[in-house]
Structure 1
């Protein structure tokens, strides 16, 4: 089962369907202690077991083998040439060429064992499609094994659509004393590639399960419970081996990836930030060709957050 699950995870990571286009700008909230992100142009990709959501890895779909997958599998198996598959099996078992295996099959066509395989193949295939696959791919332990393997193999950069969320400023930016980086999602260092990982995916917020994985693959893999919906999160995924640097720590390793300094559109510092920290940010931004520094501005009159250049 482990090998099957690993193969499935590899396919999921490699062939996720096209997500919606990411917003032009996405935002990362950070505490003052994380000024190293700007100093080093490195940002952490968090392994999914290490996020602040204890239900990050949870079952989000009833089965992997619903009508969509069933239709795709049947279309694939309908094109299988039983005789050619037998030739391949004979060639492998007898360590012979495909040409010799075809000749052997032709000479032994009346062998009861060969006739039995040919006669029983349709029944075995039907049993595989109608019994084995639904039971295996609908099994809760199997589904959780796949999700756990996905979590072990991948890490995520979590960002938000919004730079002015009071709850996120309080929770992730040390009660308005930290800062927010505005990333240009079209920058080459953040676009999908074998080195940079995936494109950005939106998080789906739901408490219920979808029926079949392929009803909404992105939502099945990238979802959180509705309590988190205010964060309006997007994620960029890398495999563990794509990290530029891995720092061994407990309980989870720290995975770091570089970004180009041109990817930073602006930096917003909280209005409660220490003046020395503001000066430190201003100094770091000298190395960032496009970035300007802004400060949050709070309106008690209408409960809004805005920015002013500083």
Structure 2
């Protein structure tokens, strides 16, 4: 049996947490017509620091403290689960070997029990409980939730997509009032998968809530992947990265645009808006023919009387 202690999730790598259920098969990126050159021709998309998104409250205090009942229970469960008879015997044997002693572990166990009045397992569990209490109580003294969230917001970058191509408000806000386009991405493509575990998606669903949780582990998704309910119409999913994964940065003085390339075969279709110009449609058709021959060219048209959208190949 391994004597490796169970690990606690690394609070400083939120992109590694599995925070949501698997994503839908296709996710959509709304954009204005001018992005045809940058995105489709250039093959790169923008990743934005959380502190720099268009949501003024993107980085906000989503939990009051790090350590509460759930965190303490998780810590206790992880540490106490490791204190098995085999683990204890291995530690005793290591200590005896270092001291150059050849004494049976049963003798050491009995000696410790007589000295402390309880078994080695009970003794270690008592010590670990005390450690967990001390460790948990000091977490917020090392770094406050505000400091932690601001730090995460400054180092983490995200690429945002939507569950749907037919959200009127999204076409109005991000799709140039129906003059732009939507790029459809297959979420099953390896670009969206975890590097260490290809079966796991790196995409994280945004949770919408206005309340503040008591502790971090009340809801990890709310802590790291949430926005206020005002933004719920976006139906957003994200893939996160750090600056070391950024391939190109465009310095505009007042702001910096960080870009990463995406594989062409991750694109399944491009949907132009109902008001897209003939020139935009022609530009999209040309780039699809040259760089994305497998992808469909489609148009979506809002239906006023049914409050829905018709999607057709063009």
TM-score between both structures, scaled by the size of structure 1: 0.77
What's the offset of the Cα at 1:72? Answer: 3.0
Gap change, CA 1:122 and 1:218, over 3 Å in 2: closer
Take 2:310 and 2:125, find their aligned partners in 1: how far apart are those partners? 67
**Residue by residue, what CA displacement relative to the aligned partner does 1:155-184 show, whole Å, maximum 9, x if unpaired?**
111000010111100100111110000111
Q: Is the 8 A contact 2:76 2:128 kept in 1?
A: no
Q: What is the aligned partner in structure 2 of residue 71 from structure 1?
A: 73
What's the offset of the Cα at 1:250? Answer: 4.1
Take 1:146 and 1:251, find their aligned partners in 2: how far apart are those partners? 25
TM-score between both structures, scaled by the size of structure 2: 0.76
Take 1:140 and 1:204, find their aligned partners in 2: how far apart are those partners? 28
What's the offset of the Cα at 1:230? Answer: 0.6
Q: What is the aligned partner in structure 1 of residue 21 from structure 2?
A: 20
| Cα RMSD for the two superposed structures | 3.4
Q: What is the aligned partner in structure 1 of residue 284 from structure 2?
A: 281
**Residue by residue, what CA displacement relative to the aligned partner does 1:23-55 show, whole Å, maximum 9, x if unpaired?**
000000001111120001111111111110000
**Matched residue count:** 279
Q: What is the aligned partner in structure 1 of residue 35 from structure 2?
A: 34
What's the offset of the Cα at 1:74? Answer: 3.1
What's the offset of the Cα at 1:13? Answer: 3.5
What's the offset of the Cα at 1:238? Answer: 1.0
Take 1:179 and 1:165, find their aligned partners in 2: how far apart are those partners? 12
Q: Which segment is superposed worse, 279-288 or 197-206?
A: 197-206
Gap change, CA 1:270 and 1:122, over 3 Å in 2: closer
SS of alignment partner, residue 272 of structure 1: coil
What's the offset of the Cα at 1:73? Answer: 2.6
Take 1:23 and 1:189, find their aligned partners in 2: how far apart are those partners? 15
Q: Which runs of 5+ in 2 are unaligned?
A: 1-9, 101-123
Q: Which runs of 5+ in 1 are unaligned?
A: 1-6, 86-97, 104-120
Q: How does 1:240-251 map to 2 (within 5 A)?
A: 240-251=243-254
Q: What is the aligned partner in structure 2 of residue 55 from structure 1?
A: 57
Gap change, CA 1:100 and 1:259, over 3 Å in 2: same
Q: What is the aligned partner in structure 2 of residue 306 from structure 1?
A: 310
Take 1:122 and 1:217, find their aligned partners in 2: how far apart are those partners? 27
Q: What is the aligned partner in structure 2 of residue 165 from structure 1?
A: 167
What's the offset of the Cα at 1:206? Answer: 0.1
Q: Is the 8 A contact 1:198 1:236 kept in 2?
A: no
Q: Is the 8 A contact 2:22 2:201 kept in 1?
A: no
Q: What is the aligned partner in structure 1 of residue 299 from structure 2?
A: 295
Q: What is the aligned partner in structure 2 of residue 112 from structure 1?
A: none
What's the offset of the Cα at 1:271? Answer: 1.3
SS of alignment partner, residue 293 of structure 1: strand
**Residue by residue, what CA displacement relative to the aligned partner does 1:262-296 show, whole Å, maximum 9, x if unpaired?**
11111111111121111111101112032111112
Match of 1:185 among 184, 187, 190: 187
Match of 2:212 among 200, 209, 212: 209
Q: Is the 8 A contact 1:57 1:147 kept in 2?
A: yes
Normalized per residue, the structure richer in helix is 1
SS of alignment partner, residue 254 of structure 1: strand
Gap change, CA 1:191 and 1:73, over 3 Å in 2: closer
